[in-house]
Structure 1
Amino acid sequence: MAPGLPTALDRPHFIGIGGAGMSGIAKILAQRGAKVAGSDAKHSATAEALRALGATVHIGHAAEHLADDASCVVVSSAIREDNPELLRAAELGIPVVHRSDALAALMEGLRPVAVAGTHGKTTTTSMLAVSLTKLGLNPSYAIGGDLDAPGSNALHGEGDIFVAEADESDRSFHKYAPEVAIILNVELDHHANYASMEEIHESFETFVGRIVPGGTLVISADHEGARELTRRLDGSVRTVTYGESADADVRVLSVVPQGLRSEVTVELDGAPLTFTVSVPGRHYAHNAVAALAAGVALGIPAADLAPALAAYTGVKRRLQLKGEAAGVQVVDSYAHHPTEMTADLEAMRAAAGDSRILVVFQPHLFSRTRELGTEMGQALALADAAVVLDIYPAREDPVPGVTSELIIDAARAAGADVTAVHDKAEVPSVIAGMTGPGDLVLTMGAGDVTDLGPRILDRLSKQPK
Structure 2
Amino acid sequence: MKIPVPDTIPSATELGRVHFVGIGGAGLSAIARIMLERGVTVSGSDGNDSPTLDALRELGATVHVGHAAENVAGADTLIVSTAVREENPEVVAAVEAGLRLWPRSAGMASIMQGKRTVAVAGTHGKTTTTSLLTSALIAAGADPTFTVGGDFAATGTNAHDGTGEVFVAEADESDGAFLVYSPFGAVATNVEADHLDHFGTEEAYKAAFASFLDRIDPAGFLVVVVDDEGAAELGDAAEAKGLTVIRVGESEGADLRLVDLTFVGNRSTATLLDASGAELGTLALQIPGRHYLLDAVAALAAGLRLGHDLDALLEGLGGFTGTRRRMERKGEAAGVRVYDSYAHHPVEIKGDLQAARALAGEGRVVVAFQPHLVSRTRIFGEQMGVELAAADEVVVLDVYLAREDADPEVTGALLVAACPLDDDKVAFVPDFDAVPAELVRRARPGDLVLTLGAGTVTQVGPRVLELLEAQED
What is the aligned partner in structure 2 of residue 195 from structure 1?
200
CA distance in structure 2 between the partners assigned to 1:361 and 1:304 by the alignment = 38
Q: How far off is 1:135 after superposition? A: 2.5
The answer on whether the counterparts of 2:22 and 2:47 sit within 8 Å (CA) in structure 1 is yes
What is the aligned partner in structure 2 of residue 207 from structure 1?
212
1:48-98 CA distances to partner (integer Å, 9 max, x unpaired)? 00000000000101101102x312000122221111111111111111111
What is the aligned partner in structure 2 of residue 275 from structure 1?
283
What is the aligned partner in structure 2 of residue 24 from structure 1?
30
What is the aligned partner in structure 2 of residue 160 from structure 1?
165
CA distance in structure 2 between the partners assigned to 1:438 and 1:182 by the alignment = 38
1:253-272 CA distances to partner (integer Å, 9 max, x unpaired)? 22211320111211125331
1:178-197 CA distances to partner (integer Å, 9 max, x unpaired)? 11100000011101112222
What is the aligned partner in structure 2 of residue 237 from structure 1?
243
The answer on whether the counterparts of 2:16 and 2:41 sit within 8 Å (CA) in structure 1 is yes
Give the number of equivalent residue pairs.
461
Q: How far off is 1:297 after superposition? A: 1.1
- Superposed CA RMSD: 1.7
Question: 1:40 and 2:35 equivalent?
Answer: no
Q: How far off is 1:426 after superposition? A: 1.4
- Whichever residue aligns with residue 88 of structure 2, its letter is N
1:385-411 CA distances to partner (integer Å, 9 max, x unpaired)? 011111110111012411111101001
CA distance in structure 1 between the partners assigned to 2:319 and 2:12 by the alignment = 33
The residue correspondences of 1:384-399 to structure 2 (distance < 5 A) are: 384-399=392-407
Q: 2:358 aligns with which of 334, 340, 350?
A: 350
What is the aligned partner in structure 1 of residue 69 from structure 2?
63
- Whichever residue aligns with residue 242 of structure 2, its letter is S
The answer on whether the counterparts of 2:11 and 2:113 sit within 8 Å (CA) in structure 1 is no
- Whichever residue aligns with residue 109 of structure 1, its letter is G
CA distance in structure 2 between the partners assigned to 1:165 and 1:421 by the alignment = 34
- Whichever residue aligns with residue 120 of structure 1, its letter is G
- Whichever residue aligns with residue 443 of structure 1, its letter is T
- Whichever residue aligns with residue 312 of structure 2, its letter is D
What is the aligned partner in structure 1 of residue 3 from structure 2?
none
CA distance in structure 2 between the partners assigned to 1:369 and 1:35 by the alignment = 40
Q: How far off is 1:416 after superposition? A: 8.2
Question: 1:406 and 2:411 equivalent?
Answer: no
CA distance in structure 2 between the partners assigned to 1:416 and 1:345 by the alignment = 20
Q: 1:361 aligns with which of 344, 369, 379?
A: 369
Alignment gaps of 5+ in structure 1: none
CA distance in structure 1 between the partners assigned to 2:118 and 2:195 by the alignment = 23
Q: How far off is 1:161 after superposition? A: 0.7
SS at structure 1 position matched to 2:337: strand
Q: 2:380 aligns with which of 358, 372, 386?
A: 372
The answer on whether the counterparts of 1:325 and 1:461 sit within 8 Å (CA) in structure 2 is yes
CA distance in structure 1 between the partners assigned to 2:106 and 2:177 by the alignment = 8
Runs of 4 or more above 6 Å deviation: 413-416
CA distance in structure 1 between the partners assigned to 2:142 and 2:269 by the alignment = 25
Alignment gaps of 5+ in structure 2: 1-9
SS at structure 2 position matched to 1:463: helix
- Whichever residue aligns with residue 30 of structure 1, its letter is L
CA distance in structure 1 between the partners assigned to 2:370 and 2:358 by the alignment = 23
Using structure 2 for the length normalisation, give the TM-score.
Answer: 0.94
Question: 1:325 and 2:333 equivalent?
Answer: yes
What is the aligned partner in structure 2 of residue 255 from structure 1?
261
What is the aligned partner in structure 2 of residue 74 from structure 1?
79
SS at structure 1 position matched to 2:254: coil
What is the aligned partner in structure 2 of residue 53 from structure 1?
59
The answer on whether the counterparts of 2:373 and 2:404 sit within 8 Å (CA) in structure 1 is yes
The answer on whether the counterparts of 2:12 and 2:107 sit within 8 Å (CA) in structure 1 is no
Cα distance, 1:460–1:278 mapped onto 2, change above 3 Å: same
Q: 1:173 aligns with which of 160, 174, 178?
A: 178
The answer on whether the counterparts of 2:329 and 2:339 sit within 8 Å (CA) in structure 1 is yes
What is the aligned partner in structure 2 of residue 124 from structure 1?
129
Cα distance, 1:390–1:150 mapped onto 2, change above 3 Å: farther
SS at structure 1 position matched to 2:197: coil
Q: How far off is 1:449 after superposition? A: 0.5
What is the aligned partner in structure 2 of residue 98 from structure 1?
103
The residue correspondences of 1:402-441 to structure 2 (distance < 5 A) are: 402-412=410-420, 417-441=425-449
CA distance in structure 2 between the partners assigned to 1:187 and 1:417 by the alignment = 30
1:100-125 CA distances to partner (integer Å, 9 max, x unpaired)? 11111211111101000000000000
The residue correspondences of 1:441-460 to structure 2 (distance < 5 A) are: 441-460=449-468
1:219-255 CA distances to partner (integer Å, 9 max, x unpaired)? 1111011122233442311111111111211111222
Moved more, 40-49 or 133-142: 133-142
CA distance in structure 2 between the partners assigned to 1:449 and 1:373 by the alignment = 17
CA distance in structure 2 between the partners assigned to 1:225 and 1:395 by the alignment = 27
Using structure 1 for the length normalisation, give the TM-score.
Answer: 0.96
Cα distance, 1:174–1:218 mapped onto 2, change above 3 Å: same
Q: How far off is 1:206 after superposition? A: 1.1
Q: How far off is 1:7 after superposition? A: 3.6
SS at structure 2 position matched to 1:192: helix
Q: How far off is 1:382 after superposition? A: 0.2
What is the aligned partner in structure 2 of residue 89 from structure 1?
94
- Whichever residue aligns with residue 97 of structure 1, its letter is W
Identity %: 49
The answer on whether the counterparts of 1:381 and 1:415 sit within 8 Å (CA) in structure 2 is no
Q: How far off is 1:351 after superposition? A: 2.5
The answer on whether the counterparts of 1:138 and 1:157 sit within 8 Å (CA) in structure 2 is yes
CA distance in structure 2 between the partners assigned to 1:254 and 1:281 by the alignment = 13
